Structure 1
Amino acid sequence: MEAVGFVELLAAPAAKRRWSDEAKGRMVAETLVPGVTVNEVARRHGLQANHLSSWRTLARKGKLIVPEIVGAEFAAPVTSPTEVVAAATTASIDLIIGPVTVRLDVATPAARVAELAVALRALS
């Protein structure tokens, strides 16, 4: 009898794989390197490209942390201090207890806010 070839058996995973958020973030970071495609990274890690694409969407929405890797073109959203200061100057604290509303400056100490809340509660 003569051998004509061989058969290669590929076993499917026994159960669903669970990727940690860190692993997802690393894979997403790999896709952000110029010239690297989502399909290429997905194939290298043995997963479907649509899963990797959905993780990229999570990263864009800020729901998945993506580590910095050399060559990646990605910048995490950052707020500038001037924007925060501008928002803080127009902000206020409103204490509403029953029909009474007291509007306080955002710089009012927390202890004073608590005292006023207790006093208003006692009046109602």
Structure 2
Amino acid sequence: ATGQSKYHEGFQYGNEMVPGFVFTDYNDSDSLKKLVAELNETPADLAKAGRKRGVAAILLEPLQGEGGIRPGTKEFFQTARSLMDDCDGLLMCDEVQVGMGRSGTLWGHEQLDVVPDVFTSA
């Protein structure tokens, strides 16, 4: 689940990554809202598209490491939390590079005033 094409080899399905993964601009709350609205269509539209549900989860890094040192904004993460609450989806945080105290708090998401449903750690 990465937007970096150098990691896509071996995980592609045809010309795409695993079906269902989509990407949006980091820290762009308006772009995230628009994407989630487009994907959370009516049940009839979802059935036509061959999908049972819209957005199941949003996966974010509290502080992007591989994509450049880019900290997430509270607004962006709180928007993601609200969107997932509204559609019964999961907010997932990738804490592999910034968790375990590497960002100043035990977990990076603690600095963003959100509580994810799931987070990864290493």
Bin of the TM-score, shorter chain as denominator length: under 0.3
Indicate the structure with greater helix content.
1
Higher Rg of the two aligned structures: 1
Q: TM-score, normalised by structure 1?
A: 0.24
